[in-house]
A and B are shown apart, each in its own frame.
Chain A
Amino acid sequence: MSRYIATAAIRGAHKVVRQAEELYADALKTVGPDAKIQFKDKGGGGTAYWLPVIYGFTGQKVETIGDLKKSLEHAKGLLPPLPGEHVWLPYLGETLDAGMATLFAEEIIEGIRFAKGQQPETRNGFTFNGPINDVQMRGWGIQMVDGRMPGFAALLGAAKNNEVAVKIVRELQSKGQLVFLSSSSNGRSIVDQLLESGVQLGYDTFTVPFGTDTISTIYALGYASRATFSFGGVTPGDFRRVLLYNKFRCFAFALALGPMDDVKWATGAGAISYGFPAVCDTAVPNILPTGITQYEHVVSMPFDDIPGRDDMERAERLVQRCIEVRGIKIKIATIKIPVAYGPAFEGEVVRRADLQSEFGGKGGMCFEWLTTRPPEEVEDGKVTVVGPDIDKFEVGAKIPLGIVIEVSGRKMQKDFEPVLERQVHHFLNGAEGLQHQGQRDITWIRLSKNAYAKGFRLRHIGDILHGVYHNQFGAIVDKIQVTLYTEPKKVQELIEKARGIYKERNDRIAGLTDEAVDTYYSCSLCQSFAPTHICVINPERVGLCGAYSWLDCKASFEINPTGPNQPVKKGPCIDQTKGEWEGVNKFVYEHSQMKVDRFTVYSVMDSPMTTCGCCECVLALIPEANGFMVVSREDYSMTPSGMTFTTLMGTVGGGLQTPGMMGHGKYYITSKKFILTEGGIKRLVWLSKNLKEELGEELKAAAEAAGVPDLLDRIADGTSATTPDELVAFLQQKQHPALEMPPLL
């Protein structure tokens, strides 16, 4: 907490409360205690919530001047003593109390003004709006709940000049933010600035002028309070929920333009209680996150120090920063590119005859690399082309290309980079006339003559990525900038760097062990067919469909917190070898309709994982061979278990726990945790031929790690054995290690 701000806020609070007291005393005399108080906007639209801030906090329905006595006492009760010059240490609680006292006093003042017929304010022939009526509040409230409108921006004071004022308002409007206007700086108000520039103000343009003094800012908080009664089901008087609702659901913030004064600080302190942070365009102390607002409380961005070519760009950045500070997510409604975009174009093939330019592919060089940067290094929506664009090359040319995507986000994690990067393929294919294949440094892109003729250039690749990442990964990324390199030397240099990163990622995944994490992820996608089946996916065991790794699930959870992938806390370990944890058992029990009360991750004989219907492989005990066979989905032939893949599937599938058998993903075979309890890969006596070929290298490595380098040759397949007798004969001839291992039954 800044001592400077705390002191100013408390001073301001005293000032406003004193003013309210004086006005109240005066009103008792001039209009009398029975004078009615009713908030109305300039069109006469009212509210059913009395003085909404006071109503929300205390449940008191203020109807007359006389009723204000109680509210005033409440305000005074909240007021902390004025801090002394030297000994006082700033304390957040006192500052917030002072803020609340200020809001009470401000609402009291406006109430008295209404009783006296002094509101809404009129100045130079312009009538301000006054408090927003209930009908409008309901209309906007629905849009705020359904996300069309993220929240509101309360602009206080006056901007550097009229152009900047207009630019700020336009920027906010473009982000769907409702704009409230109040207060003045040096006698100027942003309302004056906008009116002078011919900007239409009012409900229709989502810009509501409250008044020229800071006190009228209270209408913004009255609006926020009323929204909680309508949409939050909050009972007036339950002030804690009024505040929490606004903190988590109303994406509002204050933007103070021009010099601050004590009353502004005091009002700001009140707003912070609602979870609304303040950004100031002057030099003031910053207040970093402490939990009252979601992120920073007060952020200083002296206008002239904001980097930018001109004031317009500075205004843009100022608004951008506000959006970040409040944690508002941006949706891009339409992606502005000269060709059509949509799923209809995903499967399009660009043939040689239609080819305008080609990137990567045989003999070419093309890569894509997504990386995380600190927020200040990413300018959202910025697309840069380094090197010549497509039009500088002849038709059909093979152009080197590097696509570097820099993202920042409060929830972004290094581990999500590959998950996000893999989406480039899917995202770019949606553009008409653009064909994308491969990934990383084997990317291959073709652009059609038609798309080129329509005006498609390299920067549009960036525009697509910027828009689609926002829309689909908005939960993780806040800002995206894309740089496209065509300069051969630069591409060469960066591709080397990217390759280093790819390798690092591979190593990281290889080194990612079950022990290294405390959370696994579930997958319930298959419960429509197998209601009692629940996948638990850990770093060393992919989902049994082979499609979901632990990292995929982790990212999926961040993007869709109520979706099919949920975190599973391991909890205390029950058995390390079998892979059994208390947390996993509990989760499985609760998510299998209480049909499965425990399961082990590394054992097939004791409570193995259940199987749905989409496993890549089935593993089954062959009692005669003292080992296990693995048959793949692509293998239709008979296996030594006496069952084909289909029959085995019918036995293990449907969410059943079948000791001795289970479904799993292909790559589980090469995992260090493969049936650890039963002795690992050395127990593998039969394997579908196609798997032997497909997993060749990885299997060899796993066999070596298990100390039997030639294991693969000793494992039978469909060509060497389809009955238990043939299998045993084969294994004996090859001296398969399983024959010497402890009996399984």
Chain B
Amino acid sequence: MALTGIEIYKYLPKTNCKKCNFPTCLAFAMKVAARVVDITACPDLSAQSKAALESAGRPPIRLVKFGGDTHKVEVGNETVMFRHEKTFYHPPAIMVRIKDTASKEDIAKLVDEVGGYQVERVGMKLTMDGFAVENASKDQARFLEAVETVLAKSGLAVALMSDNPATMDAAVAKAAARKPVVYAATKENWSGMADIAKKHSCPLVVRDSSGLENLVALSEKVAQAGIEDIILDPGVDSFKSSIDSLTEIRRLALKKNFRPLGFPVMTFPGVQAKTTEEEAALAAEQISKYSSVVVLEHFSPALAYPLLTLRLNIYTDPQKPIQMAAGIYEVGAPKPDSPLCITTNFSLTYFSVAGEIEASGVPSWLLICDTEGLSVLTAWAAGKFDAERIAKAVKQFNVADKISHKSIVLPGKVAVLRGELEEELSGWKVLVGPMEAMDVGGYFKKTWKP
């Protein structure tokens, strides 16, 4: 049973010393109760309290970090089964496999492509996370050369894949500053791999595709060997068992507080795929359902962009909706005499309105007012979408310079603002648009007159 913030507070030193980076012990306790901060962040905890809080004070899924200064990756530390229950906190790392059997030039080219990839969406810059370099050749020198190429050409994170502890040791040594993921401890080689991971303080993947029991056994052994940062690879490379297995792992971790499975999961959706579309499909499922490190077999911008967008969507905090940047947007290619509409910066509101304007075939100017991510009626009710704010946006973004008329279309639901807005924007004509975005097209055709 999880403890409440108040119950945790009782075990704290109550000094408000701020060493945990929270201003009060209570504020800290609340974060621990939400299972997003580890109780060990309190340096003054008595041994007694520590023992009492052992289970309640540790997140059920460990936060695992890898990557160097140029690109840090944090995965795991999820607290819920469904994003609507709170949110998913740490988006999965999306990486690309590089086999050392490829030519140096091909590797270099791929690393450049992936490493330099960046796409912009709702004002955010999305990038890939790194490379899983595989010792497919079984040749140590070749592997080390490939690793060097990757490290030299990109600052992204790396996972190193080899079954041979000696080869792995050499590769990890080279990549140590990048804090690479060590892939993978199996039931044959776990002891050697654990030593390497421990020596370099790197996360270690445990892999067993023969059933969860065996994965658990391996995870326990590695943990006993002193490895804290573990990543699980249950070997789900097909639709057959992916959701099933990953659900079981996450449920055991969250609901039963089952430590051996309380780690992020790594998957390879493209292993069995015959086409890029098939790889995209399983990757999409695994991003949606519980994978924390997704390693692709291919890379192309047309594959990366949708997957990065999906990751962004799924890992958006449902209680803090995505906000659009305030400003004047062009939908279609508006001219100075095109309609000017205004709405709020709640992303879904923006998408609905922009989508309907787009569909109407009437290019328009869409002014987005900063309403702190609230939708039209909610924002109006909260006083964040009022005449003053709208007028401010009109002035701030120099809307008048872009259009030849002086009329602005208000969402029908806030018709009540019309009078006030006319006062605020003297010389402007305030038109009242339809109540629902879907009626925008009809409104433009039948009613709108600047």
Q: Do A and B bind each other?
A: yes
Instruction: List 7 A–B pairs whose Cβ atoms lie within 8 Å, in order of A's numbering.
Output: A345-B432, A346-B416, A348-B419, A614-B378, A641-B27, A642-B22, A654-B86
Fill in one digit per residue for A643-670: 1 if any B CB lies within 8 Å of its CB, else 0: 1000100010110001111000000000
Interface residue from A345, A346, A435, A647 paired with B27 (Cβ < 8 Å) = A647
A613 at the interface (CB under 8 A from B): yes
Is A642 touching B421 in the complex (CB atoms < 8 A)?
Answer: no
Instruction: Identify 19 new A-B residue pairs, CB closer than 8 A, beyond the known A651-B31, A723-B16.
Output: A343-B412, A343-B432, A344-B412, A345-B418, A346-B415, A347-B416, A349-B420, A531-B85, A532-B85, A547-B381, A622-B26, A623-B26, A638-B23, A643-B23, A643-B27, A651-B5, A658-B30, A659-B5, A661-B30
Contact A347 B27 (CB under 8 A): no
Q: Is A20 an interface residue (CB 8 A)?
A: no
- Which residues of the partner chain A approach B22 to less than 8 Å between Cβ atoms? 642
- In order of increasing CB-CB distance, the 9 nearest A-B pairs are A642-B24, A349-B419, A347-B418, A642-B23, A344-B432, A642-B27, A347-B416, A660-B6, A346-B415
Question: Taking the complex as formed, is A724 at the interface, i.e. its CB lies under 8 A from any CB of chain B?
Answer: yes
Task: Give Cα distance in the complex from A451 to B422, angstroms.
Answer: 19
**CB of B449 within 8 Å of the partner chain:** no
Pick from B4, B30, B414, B421 the residue with the most CB of A within 10 Å: B30
Q: Is B423 an interface residue (CB 8 A)?
A: yes
- B84 near A: Cβ within 8 Å? yes
B427 CB to nearest chain A CB (Å): 15
Interface-centre pick from B16, B26, B412 (highest chain A CB count, 10 A): B26
Per-residue CB proximity of A295-337 to B under 8 Å, as 1/0? Answer: 0000000000000000000000000000000000000000000
Q: Which residues of A contact B378 (CB under 8 A)?
A: 614
Residue on A nearest B433 in the bound complex, by CB: A344
Q: When chains A and B are docked, how far (Å) is the Cα of A637 from the Cα of B432? A: 37
Q: Which residues of B contact A660 (CB under 8 A)?
A: 4-6, 9, 26
CA distance A605 to B7 in the complex (A): 11
Residues of A contacting B84 in the complex (Cβ-Cβ under 8 angstroms):
531
Q: Given A614, A642, A653, A654, which contacts B16 in the complex, CB threshold below 8 Å?
A: A642
Residues of chain B within 8 A (CB-CB) of A643 are: 23-24, 27, 30
Tell me how far the C-beta of B437 lies from the nearest C-beta in chain A, rounded to whole angstroms.
Answer: 15
* Chain A residues within an 8 Å CB radius of B199: none
* A745 vs B26: C-alpha distance when bound (angstroms): 12
A651–B24 alpha-carbon span in the complex (Å):
14
A621 adjacent to chain B (CB < 8 Å): yes
User: Contacts A349-B422, A529-B318, A651-B30 known; A658 to B14 CB distance under 8 Å?
Assistant: no
Cα A660 to Cα B85 in complex, Å, equals: 21
Total CB contacts across the A-B interface at under 8 A: 97
Does B435 have its Cβ within 8 Å of any Cβ on chain A? yes
Q: How far is the CB of B389 from chain A (nearest CB, A)?
A: 15
Within the assembled complex, what's the spacing in Å between the Cα atoms of A530 and B14? 32
Bitwise, B15-27 to A at CB < 8 A (1) or not (0) is 0100000111011
Docked Cα-Cα span, A623 to B9, in Å, equals 9
B72 in contact (CB, < 8 A): no
A532–B150 Cα gap in the complex (Å)?
47
Smallest CB separation, A338 vs chain B (Å): 20
- B412: nearest residue on chain A (CB-CB)? A343
Interface string of A622-649 (1 = CB under 8 A from B): 1110000000000000100111000100
Residue of A nearest to B27 (CB): A642
CB distance from B347 to the nearest CB of A (A): 14
How many angstroms between the C-alpha atoms of A349 and B426 in the bound complex? 14
Chain A residue with the shortest CB-CB distance to B14: A623
Is residue A429 within 8 Å, beta carbon to beta carbon, of the partner chain?
yes
List B contacts of A623 (CB < 8 A): 9, 14, 26
With both beta carbons as reference points, the residue of chain A lying nearest to B10 in the complex is identified as A745
Chain B, interface size: which category?
Answer: 35 or more
**In the assembled complex, B417 has its CB within 8 A of some CB on chain A:** yes
Contact, CB under 8 Å: A621 / B6: yes
B275 within 8 A of partner (CB): no
Whether B27 lies near A659 (C-beta < 8 A) is no
CB neighbours (8 Å) of A653 from chain B are 319
B319, A346: Cβ atoms closer than 8 Å: no
Report A21 CB to chain B, min CB distance, Å: 63
Shortest Cβ distance from B435 into A: residue: A343
B97 to chain A, nearest CB (A): 38
Does B303 sit within 8 A of A, measured CB to CB? Answer: no
Q: Is B312 an interface residue (CB 8 A)?
A: no
The interface residues of chain A lying within 8 Å CB-to-CB of B34 are 651
For the complex, give the distance between the alpha carbons of A305 and B6 in Å: 75
Give the distance in Å from the alpha carbon of A654 to the alpha carbon of B87 in the complex: 10
Convert B368-386 into 0s and 1s, putting 1 for each residue whose CB lies closer than 8 angstroms to a CB of A.
Answer: 0000000000100110000
**A344 and B415: CB pair below 8 A?**
yes
Give CA–CA (A643, B31) in the complex, Å: 11
CB nearest neighbor in A for B414: A347
**Roughly how many angstroms separate A624 CA and B15 CA in the complex, as a whole number?**
10
Closest CB of chain A to B54's CB: distance in Å? 21
Residues on A with C-beta less than 8 A from B420 are: 347, 349
Residues of A within 8 A of B416 (CB): 346-347, 429
Partner of B423, one of A349, A530, A621: A349
Interface string of A344-362 (1 = CB under 8 A from B): 1111110000000000000
- Known contacts A659-B5, A659-B6; A641 and B415 CB within 8 A of each other: no
On chain B, the residues within 8 Å of A621 by CB distance are 6, 26
Whole-angstrom CA separation of A427 from B415 in the bound complex: 13
A723 to B27, CA, bound (A): 12
**Contact A658-B417, Cβ < 8 Å, known A344-B432, A531-B85:** no
State how many angstroms separate the Cβ of A629 from the closest Cβ of chain B: 11
CA gap between A623 and B28 in the complex, in Å: 13
The residues of B that contact A659 with a CB separation of less than 8 Å are 4-6
Measured in the bound complex, the distance between the Cα atoms of B29 and A658 in whole Å is 12
Which residues of B lie under 8 Å from residue A658 when comparing CB positions? Answer: 4-5, 30, 33
**Cα–Cα, bound, A130→B9 (Å):** 83
Chain A nearest CB: distance from B35 CB in Å?
Answer: 12
User: Does the CB pair B85–A745 fall under 8 Å?
Assistant: no
Interchain CA distance A531-B22 in the complex, whole Å:
29
Residues of B contacting A531 in the complex (Cβ-Cβ under 8 angstroms): 84-85
List residues of chain A with CB within 8 A of the CB of B26: 620-623, 641-642, 660
In the bound complex, CA of A642 to CA of B18 (Å): 10
Q: How would residues 411 to 437 of chain A score, 1 for a CB under 8 Å from any chain B CB and 0 otherwise?
A: 000000000000000000100000100
Q: How far is the CB of B378 from chain A (nearest CB, A)?
A: 8
Within the assembled complex, what's the spacing in Å between the Cα atoms of A244 and B413? 41
Chain A contacts for B27, CB-based, 8 A: 641-643, 647
Beta-carbon nearest neighbor of B318 in chain A: A529
Q: For A624, what are the chain B residues with a Cβ–Cβ distance below 8 Å?
A: 14, 16
A346 to chain B, nearest CB (A): 4
A641–B30 CA distance with the chains assembled, in angstroms: 11
CA distance A659 to B26 in the complex (A): 12
Q: 0/1 per residue, A591-617, Cβ < 8 Å to B?
A: 000000000000001000000011000
CB distance from A538 to the nearest CB of B (A): 23
Residues of A within 8 A of B422 (CB): 349
- Bound-state CA distance A52–B86 (Å) is 57
Whole-angstrom distance between the alpha carbons of A190 and B382 in the complex?
61
CA distance A348 to B412 in the complex (A): 13
Contact A348 B30, beta carbon cutoff 8 Å: no
Cα separation A406 to B244 with both chains bound (whole Å): 63
What separation, in Å, do the CA atoms of A641 and B415 have in the docked complex? 41
**CA A193 to CA B26, docked complex, whole Å:** 86
CB–CB B417/A347 < 8 A: yes
CA distance A349 to B31 in the complex (A): 49
Shortest distance between the CB of B319 and any CB in chain A (Å): 5
Considering the chains assembled together, what is the distance between the CA atoms of A407 and B397 in angstroms?
Answer: 51
CB distance from B321 to the nearest CB of A (A): 9
- The docked-state distance in angstroms from the alpha carbon of A413 to that of B250 is 53
B84, closest chain A residue (CB): A531
- Name the residue of chain B whose CB is nearest to the CB of A607: B4
| Residue numbers in B under 8 Å from A613 (CB-CB) | 319
- The residue on A at minimum CB distance from B417 is A347
Contact A347 B5 (CB under 8 A): no
